[in-house]
Chain A
Amino acid sequence: MGVMEQEVAVRTPLVALLGNPNCGKTALFNRLTGSRQKVANYAGVTIERKEGSFKSPAGRNFRVLDLPGAYSLNAQTPDEGITRDVVAGLRAGEQAPDAVLCVVNATNLRLNLRLVLELKRLGLPMVLALNMVDVARKRGIEIDTARLAQELGMPVVETIAIQSGGEQALLAELDRMNFAGTVKARPLSAIDDVPVEETQREVRRILAAAVSTAKDTGNLTEKIDNVVLHPVAGPVILALLMFVIFQAVFSWGDLPIELIEGGMGAFGEWVGALLGEGMLHSLIVDGIIAGVGSVLVFLPQILILFFFILLLEDVGYLPRAAFLLDRIMGSVGLSGRAFLPLLSSFACAIPGVMAARTIQNPRDRLVTIMIAPLMTCSARLPVYALLIAAFIPDRSVAGFLNLQGVVLFVLYLAGILSAMAVAWFMKRRSEYKQHALMLELPAYHWPQPRALFSGLLERAKIFLMRVGTLIMTMMVLLWLLSSFPGAPEGATNPPIYYSIAGMIGRALEVILAPIGFNWQIAIALVPGMAAREVAVGALGTVYALSGGDEVGDTLAPLIAQSWSLATGLALLAWYVYAPHCLPTLATVARETGSRKYAWIMAGYMFGLAYVAAFIVYRVTLAFTGA
Chain B
Amino acid sequence: MTLAPALSTLDSLKAGQSATVVHLAQHAPQGGIDVQRRLMELGFVPGERIRVLKRVLGGPLAVKVGESTFALRRFEAAMVSIKAD
Contacts and interface: CB of A to CB of B under 8 A. Distances in A.
Given A231-B55, A326-B60, A111 B39 contact: no
Interface in A434-454: 434-442
Q: Report the contact-size class of chain B (Cβ under 8 Å from the partner).
A: 35 or more
A286 interface: no
A76 interface: yes
A438 B70 contact: yes
Contact of A440 (B54, B68, B73): B68
A110 interface: yes
B4 interface: no
B40 A197 contact: yes
Interface in A61-116: 71-72, 74, 76, 107-111, 114
Nearest to A232: B57
A411 to B, nearest CB: 27
A196 B68 contact: no
A155 interface: no
B41 A439 contact: no
A234 B15 CA distance: 15
B60 A110 contact: no
Binding site secondary structure of chain B: mixed
Contact of A360 (B31, B57, B67, B75): B31
A519 to B, nearest CB: 49
A107 B67 contact: yes
Contact of A196 (B45, B53, B59, B64): B45
B35 interface: yes
A323 B31 contact: no
A322 interface: yes
A336 B73 contact: yes
A327 interface: yes
B71 A439 contact: yes
Given A72-B41, A74-B41, A437-B76, A336 B62 contact: no
Q: Report the contact-size class of chain A (Cβ under 8 Å from the partner).
A: 35 or more
B33 A108 contact: no
Contact of B56 (A114, A231, A360, A440): A231
Contacts of B60: 323, 326-327, 336, 437
Nearest to B56: A327
A343 to B, nearest CB: 15
A117 to B, nearest CB: 12
A84 to B, nearest CB: 13
A330 B73 contact: yes
Contact of A441 (B41, B58, B69): B69
Interface string B35-57: 10111111101111000011111
A261 interface: no
A92 B66 CA distance: 37
B2 interface: no
Contacts of B42: 71, 111, 438, 440
**Which of A319, A360, A442 gathers the greatest number of chain B CB atoms within 10 Å?**
A360
Contact of B31 (A109, A336, A362, A440): A362
Contacts of A439: 70-71
B72 interface: yes
B43 to A, nearest CB: 5
A193 to B, nearest CB: 12
Contacts of B58: 327
Contact of B71 (A323, A361, A362): A323
B55 to A, nearest CB: 7
Contacts of A229: 53-54, 56, 62
A400 interface: no
Contacts of A326: 56, 59-60, 71, 73
Interface in A228-281: 229-231, 234
Nearest to A70: B41
A197 B54 CA distance: 27
Contact of B38 (A76, A109, A324): A76
A330 B69 contact: no
Contacts of B59: 326-327, 330
Nearest to A72: B41
B72 to A, nearest CB: 6
B24 to A, nearest CB: 9
B33 A111 contact: no
Contacts of B40: 196-197, 200
A196 B47 CA distance: 12
A196 B43 CA distance: 9
B45 A435 contact: no
Nearest to A74: B37
A382 to B, nearest CB: 35
Given A111-B42, A327-B56, A76 B71 contact: no
B71 A111 contact: no
The 7 closest A-B pairs by CB, nearest first: A361-B31, A327-B59, A110-B66, A196-B40, A229-B54, A200-B45, A72-B41
Given A197-B45, A229-B62, A230-B54, 17 more contacts: A111-B67, A111-B68, A200-B43, A225-B62, A229-B54, A231-B57, A322-B71, A323-B60, A326-B71, A327-B57, A360-B30, A360-B33, A435-B73, A437-B60, A437-B73, A440-B69, A441-B70
